[in-house]
Amino acid sequence: MALTKPFIVITVSSLLMMVSGCVSPDRPKVEANAPVMIYPEARALNNVSFRDLFQPASNTLQERPLTTGLIRQVADDSKDAVVSIFVKSNSPYRINLIPFSPIGGIPVKVPGLGLGSGFFIHEDGYLLTNGHVIENAEVVMILTKEGKDYEVSVLAVDPVYDLALLKVKGESLPKFKVLPMGNSRQVDAGDMVIAVGNPLGLGHTVTSGIISQTYRNITENTEAERGVDYIQTDTAINPGSSGGPLITLSGSWVGVNTAMLASAQGIGFAVPSHQVLEFLAAVFSSEAREMLKEDL
């Protein structure tokens, strides 16, 4: 299924009319301890080892002279592993036939288009993004830096961590460039990072900054068993950049970019890689494998 230029143009136009390019207009509230959702397409993981799904970085942090070409080199090394994601969905809305309807309106689905970012963690076409990027998706397409497009399957979604595991569809696929996974427990405030993504549908874009803080809890429910230890960064994360990687100067990713606080400047958040590992571990758990033997 080819990603045509009109599809991209309409997607961008739709984005500019929305407050956020990634969030559904009627997104349901996520339960604090909601489990990871496994989809039938995850049967593709039956013969895949958990530890073989990603490439660990040899060095999460590395002392490197901050020359004028360093960030350019890190960005260049990562460009082929980062993709733009375009989603065709039926987003839920409610129509009120009369003012202050006691039944809360009639639920309907309106065709919509959205966009986001993602990146490959395995050369066979496994990639990560945010869960909200592919929410309510009917068709999910990715576009690589070199201009090739592929349709992908959604294998699993973690509604609490806002993560999604995707897989490129098709046979005889090329080997995709991957980003090595760094250890987010090793980074701290002051470490320099870059973010790569597809803001506002503009295409491959690089921004830079520092880690402002780690283990940042921005949820209201402090008693939840599951919560995100966000990496806070001043690196720009705009609508459409959601799902892209947060990368250290060693070239390893330590977070999945999720959101920028709209009411402030330079306050963005990324899901740390150690919690991405928790998500992947849940997908490969014995309970998940038993589920895959049944009709989901």
Token output for 274? 């150690």
Which one-letter amino acid corresponds to residue 125? G
In Å, how far are 135, 141, 197, 248 from 26, measured between CA atoms? 11, 22, 25, 35
CA pair distance 177, 126, nearest whole angstrom: 11
Identify whether 162 is a catalytic site residue: yes
Asked if 55 and 121 touch (Cβ cutoff 8 Å), the reply is yes
CA pair distance 72, 178, nearest whole angstrom: 18
Catalytic residue among 91, 132, 204, 273: 132
Q: Which residues contact 249 (CB under 8 A, 6 or more apart)?
A: 61, 62, 64, 70, 71, 74, 192, 193, 194
- Residue-wise over 270-292: b if at least 16 C-beta within 10 A, else e? bbbbbbbeebbebbbeeebeeeb
Catalytic residue among 24, 162, 184, 241: 162
Nearest to 196 by CA among 141, 134, 150, 128: 128
Identify whether 132 is a catalytic site residue: yes
Identify whether 204 is a catalytic site residue: no
Catalytic residue among 117, 242, 252, 273: 242
CA pair distance 169, 141, nearest whole angstrom: 10
221: helix, coil or strand? coil
CA pair distance 152, 127, nearest whole angstrom: 9
Q: Which residues are catalytic, by number?
A: 132, 162, 242
